[in-house]
Amino acid sequence: MSSVPVFVGLDYHQDSIQVCILDGQGKCLANRRVPNDAVVVADLATRYGRPVRIAVEACCGAANFAQELSATYGLPIDLGHPGYVARLKGSPDKTDLTDAQLLADLVRVDYLPKVWLAPDFIRELRRLTRHRQQLVCRRRDIKLRIRGLLRENRLKCPFANAWTKPWLAWLRDQALLSENDRWLANEHLDELEMLNKRITAVEARIDAFTAGDPVIAHLLGMQGVGRVTAVTLRAEVGDFQRFHTGKQLARFCSVSPRNASSGHRQADAGLIKAGNPQLRAVLIELAHRLMHSRNRWSKKGYALLNRGKPKNVAVAAVANRWVRWLHHEMHRLAAAGLTSAPARQKGPAPSAVTIAST
């Protein structure tokens, strides 16, 4: 391999990868399509010189491929944010050649918008938690359909609250429904029962997978934090050390106000829209629980309410302050010996991969 420094951009696809190689002056040395094989890509990336940085857009399968290039071949690789990369293109045209060349050029001038390359443990945990959330959303939809069916027939159980065992037994056996509506109700109830079992199964798998993880164990010891909140934070945030300030972490968690200032007008426009919606949802729910407890967070929340702020604003402010406090708490514990490294990995950690956050 030559010692000439080169910069590589990879346009990732399931079956093939477009590889563009630029020298330090931006001259294209190669731009060709190769099979989706780490051996082939590594050979081509090192054929024209020493890769200073390699860039690939974050997409399905790209993180696994990037980790293989880094851990197996020691290549320095970054994941690029696909949304920001598309905005930097400046052209409506899209081809694999231009996409790969853009990534190579961005990494050459050190302007690639990077995302964190999560280790195997975090990526697997994300898939498990998101699968659980998908099942929960399906269960919610089934419950809404059952509610709608009962409203259509103007029925209400006279002796039990909704979704209790007596209520479910009444719906299945005693509710005055037509033949077709009873068939629909039983179909919904059977699917609801099946989803409850699947949710219980995935929660048991998540508990087994995260057993012994020190970060989740510490999160569970915090007031108001339950299993779902702790696991979601661990899965979506991953390593708390990659955020330099609490404000960065709060922005990543979508609990920061969005600035809408212009000229002399200074204003906010609600919470920022970027970020994982499930992560923000569990943090808002946590803020509601903290508001009902006697602690520093409830004092802050009620102080805002006494100043005339709407309750949703007060709750969002509590979530924002709690996340910023969590950042400093996790950094303090890391300095004391608690690491946020993954509990288990399939292979060696990708030490050569940049883990800058967005």
Task: Report domain extents, the chain.
Answer: 5-115, 120-209, 214-335
Q: How many CB atoms lie within 10 A of CB 1?
A: 11
Class of domain 5-115: alpha beta
**pLDDT computed for residue 267 by the predictor:** 66
Rounded Cα distance between 83 and 80, Å, is 9
**pLDDT computed for residue 352 by the predictor:** 33
Residue where the block lists tokens 């950690």:
349
**pLDDT computed for residue 338 by the predictor:** 61
Rounded Cα distance between 152 and 175, Å, is 13
**pLDDT computed for residue 1 by the predictor:** 56
**pLDDT computed for residue 342 by the predictor:** 46
Q: Are strands 50-57 and 77-80 parallel, antiparallel or unpaired?
A: parallel
Q: Are strands 257-259 and 268-271 parallel, antiparallel or unpaired?
A: antiparallel
Is residue 253 a contact partner of residue 275, using CB atoms and an 8 Å limit? yes
Q: Each residue's pLDDT tens digit in the chain (358 positions)? A: 567 899 999 999 999 999 999 999 999 999 999 999 999 999 999 999 999 999 999 999 999 999 999 999 999 999 999 888 888 887 778 889 999 999 999 999 999 999 899 999 999 999 999 999 999 999 999 999 999 999 999 999 999 999 999 999 999 999 999 999 999 999 999 999 999 999 999 999 999 999 989 999 999 999 999 999 999 999 999 999 999 999 999 999 999 887 767 777 766 777 888 788 999 999 999 999 999 888 889 899 999 999 998 999 999 999 999 999 999 999 888 887 765 444 444 444 333 333 333 2
Residue where the block lists tokens 């050190």:
110
Instruction: Name which of 54, 48, 55 is nearest 29 in CA terms.
Output: 48
